[in-house]
Amino acid sequence: MSRTWFSDRTPVGIGLRHVHYHDALAAPADIDFFEVHSENFFARGGATLGVLEEVAGRYPVSLHGTSLGLGSVAGISPRHLDSLVQLADRISPALISDHAAFGQGVVGEQLVHAGDLLPIAFNESMLQVMTENVLQVQERLGRQILVENLSAYLEPPGSTLTETEFLTELAERSGCRLLVDINNLAVNAVNTGIENVAVSIKQWLDQIPATHVGEIHLAGCTPAQPGGLVIDDHSQKVSDTVWDGYHHAITRFGQVPTLIEWDTQLPEWQVLLNEANKARRIAEKACNALSENSFQEQPV
């Protein structure tokens, strides 16, 4: 199988987890790329890295980070960045991404990593921090990265910009692109009490310039208990609301590489393939509708 993007359709990939290593390598699948969590492959050798190298020999690979801490005032860990650079040099990934979040800070003169994706305030001060951190990472990697919108469970004080304004300005100042996670938009809308989640998602998507978007994530999560928060646990099939948002996103952004994420309560391999096929059908339908509208709008 070619390790290049398909030019005639929207590239659709699957997040590759260890229980599916054999499935991914046992037989060719109609998958355009695989995405892995970067930190799981920072070791210099071993069987796991060997599997990734074999996968990368057959498919394009996307490296998706969860611990870089692009929004950390304390800066980027040199050790972490060194490991990411070494992995990228070894794998030659098609995409590299991380989150609009902070992950580390100074506590009692000691640098401490939270081990989680923590939300940031959307303001000029944080925009400068993130821009500098993204530029540093891109300079070391020698390439553009993608930054993902976060599912957040609280709103830090001090925001003077909307999330879309913040991410748009970050992309323009740093030259990065954006990874739009549509399930994160749904989670945030539900947790903040927005009544019409579907409309909220579309409004958010409409505020992002199409040229800034380089990838889309799709996932499902466990419904919230009464009075509780929705947790973005990537444990279910993609919801109808997120599929609806995805159709709208493709009409806005075009044939953007799209990933099915599933991290907990992992299903059988075929379930993931079915989700990927559904994404491809929806993307094709959205692109066809976009082409028809463009044709109808041509002057005569």
Q: Is a pLDDT exceeding 60 seen at residue 3?
A: no
Per-residue pLDDT tens over the stretch 226-276 = 778 888 999 999 999 999 999 999 999 999 999 999 999 999 999 999 999
Closest CA to 130 of 88, 172, 183, 185: 172
- pLDDT of residue 10 exceeding 50, the answer is yes
| Structure token digits, residue 65 | 């980070």
Give me the residue spans of the domains in the chain: 12-105+112-296
Res 279 pLDDT > 60: yes
Sign of CA dihedral 228, 233, 236, 240: positive
CATH, domain 12-105+112-296, list 2.30.30.30, 3.20.20.150, 3.40.50.970, 3.40.50.2300: 3.20.20.150
Of the candidates 142, 132, 207, the residue with the CA atom closest to the CA atom of residue 174: 132
- What DSSP element (H or E) covers 34? strand 33-37
Could you give phi then psi for residue 62, rounded to 5 degrees?
-110, 130
Helix-then-strand count for the chain, H and E = 9, 10
Question: Who contacts 25 (Cβ-Cβ below 8 Å, separation ≥6)?
Answer: 51, 54, 55, 58
pLDDT tens-digit map of 77-129: 999 999 999 999 999 999 999 999 987 666 666 666 656 788 999 999 999 99
